[in-house]
Amino acid sequence: MTTKNYFEPALTPSDPSDTDRWIPGLIRTLREVVGTGEFVPLHQPEIGDVERGYVLDCIDSGWVSSVGRYVDQLEQMLVDYTGAAHAVAVVNGTAALHISLLLAGVQADDEVICPALSFVATANAISYCGAIPHFAEVESTTLGLDAEKLAAYLQDISVSDGNERRNRITGRRIAAVVPMHTFGHPVDLDALVDVCCRFDLPMVEDAAESLGSYYRSQHTGTFGQSAAISFNGNKIMTTGGGGAILTNDPVLAARAKHLTTTAKQPHAWAYHHDCVGYNYRMPNLNAALGCGQLGRLDEMRSRKRNLAESYRQALSSVPQVRWINEPPNCSSNFWLGAIVVDGGLEARDAVLAAANQAGIMSRPIWDLLSGLPMYRQCPGMDLATSCRLLEQIVCLPSSAALGTQSKMASPGAAGVG
Ligand SMILES: *Cc1c(COP(=O)(O)O)cnc(C)c1O
């Protein structure tokens, strides 16, 4: 694992707004890494013969819906893979997050801290509880919640009566903190766990992007009270659509299972539901696909790490961009490779235009959640770093298949760094 130059911004003595001068070289460098394919998509799933076999077996068994042995098997495989004590498979990552928040006791009119720089699902899941997202700042090494700034901010704007913590300004209860591991890179979990302890707030990890990512050798999604994982088609492994809740708490795990299966009390034939439940259970058919995918997750992960290393080495020769590397003491799944482009919005957009024009699919990061119409009125701290990163980040093609290509085909990626 290399963390060399990790903290160094992509500063260059030349004028970075002079994009015509350096972008052609950047595109050539990217080409050397991603190979000669006419069009290189951002992220493609890989479905193999094992998955095919499991899905056919599932169809033949007749158990294609919300009960079946593949659901149980996938949950057990997740427990084995992540080291979490319990896993509950659900229909998607957003549902996993929704239930995780309910498990943390989030209620209507509560506020929940989450990063402004995240996929919309993070804030949506908070809204499904009737709660209000409260947007916090990220830092530029992990792209995740800035623990130090969050601590200072909570110190400033919140008060506790020894039982509940409230926002002094809005009067609403602050119910939880939801860090997100951006692109698979773990946030500074030690620091965030400390902040959550100090302010007595439960932590729910949005680990949708970080299956296969470790912080100090411990799998992400096992640090908070519970966590949400996603198996959407664009994630590191897929079940078509799907997700899972991870927790170490047996009571929460049982509650998660109950809430995601319409809150039906176990009984041989009667339908008795004891609270408002959700039809969030993952179908067996999707779980069959998931068992095949999870069986070769480590192999896909290792090719994604190869690809990341090729990007890192090749891009070290382009001073106008900084490759986003894994944070210190972390081993990332490198779900989505990304660069920080020096020179602001104009340079970023010029890179996006040139790369897409060249058939190298690339994307900006999500708009800040705090700017979306439905969340514009929500409380939030100073978001200067989030704003700056939004204007600088470009996501690059990251399919595991790209990590298989021979280094011989990419002379620019060899022998550098
Ligand atoms: C993908 C994703 C989700 C939601 O997962 P779905 O399975 O698409 O519902 C939530 N949060 C983040 C950060 C994600 O990237």
pLDDT in tens, 120-141: 999 999 999 999 999 999 999 9
CA atoms of 244 and 256, how far apart (whole Å): 10
Residue 197: which H helix or E strand, with range? helix 189-198
Which residue has a Cα nearest atom 14 of ligand 1? 208
Q: Which residues 6+ apart lie within 8 Å of 72 measured at CB?
A: none
Q: What is the pLDDT of residue 16?
A: 54
List the domain boundaries for the chain.
19-45+297-405, 49-295
Q: What is the pLDDT of residue 15?
A: 59
Beta strands at 330-331 and 321-323: parallel, antiparallel or unpaired: unpaired
| Cα angle, residue 181 at apex, residues 321 and 378 outer, rounded to 5° | 100
Distance 316 CA to ligand 1 centre (A): 31
Beta strands at 214-215 and 330-331: parallel, antiparallel or unpaired: antiparallel
91, 92, 94: residue to mutate for ligand 1 pocket, most atoms within 8 A of CB: 94
**Other beta carbons less than 10 A from residue 277's beta carbon:** 14
Q: What is the pLDDT of residue 18?
A: 87
Chain mean position to CA 18: 33
Which residue has a Cα nearest atom 5 of ligand 1? 93
Q: What is the pLDDT of residue 66?
A: 81
pTM: 0.93
Beta strands (DSSP E) in 124-264 are 132-136, 158-160, 165-167, 174-177, 204-206, 214-215, 218-219, 226-230, 243-247
Distance 185 CA to ligand 1 centre (A): 15
209, 210, 220: residue to mutate for ligand 1 pocket, most atoms within 8 A of CB: 209
Distance 356 CA to ligand 1 centre (A): 24
Nearest residue to 364 (alpha-carbon basis) of 354, 346, 372, 352: 352
Which residue has a Cα nearest atom 13 of ligand 1? 119
Architecture of domain 49-295: 3-Layer(aba) Sandwich (3.40)
**Other beta carbons less than 10 A from residue 58's beta carbon:** 22
Name the token pair of 102: 């309910």
CA atoms of 319 and 7, how far apart (whole Å): 14
Q: Which atom of ligand 1 is nearest to the CA of 234?
A: 1
CATH number of 19-45+297-405: 3.90.1150.10
Q: What is the CB < 6 Å shell around ligand 1? A: 92-94, 118-119, 121-122, 180, 206, 208-209, 230, 232, 243
Nearest residue to 40 (alpha-carbon basis) of 359, 259, 321: 359
Low-confidence ranges of the chain (pLDDT < 50): 1-8, 13, 406-417
Q: What is the pLDDT of residue 412?
A: 40
Q: Which atom of ligand 1 is nearest to the CA of 180?
A: 13
> Dihedral of the CA atoms 309, 43, 140, 243 (nearest 10)?
-120
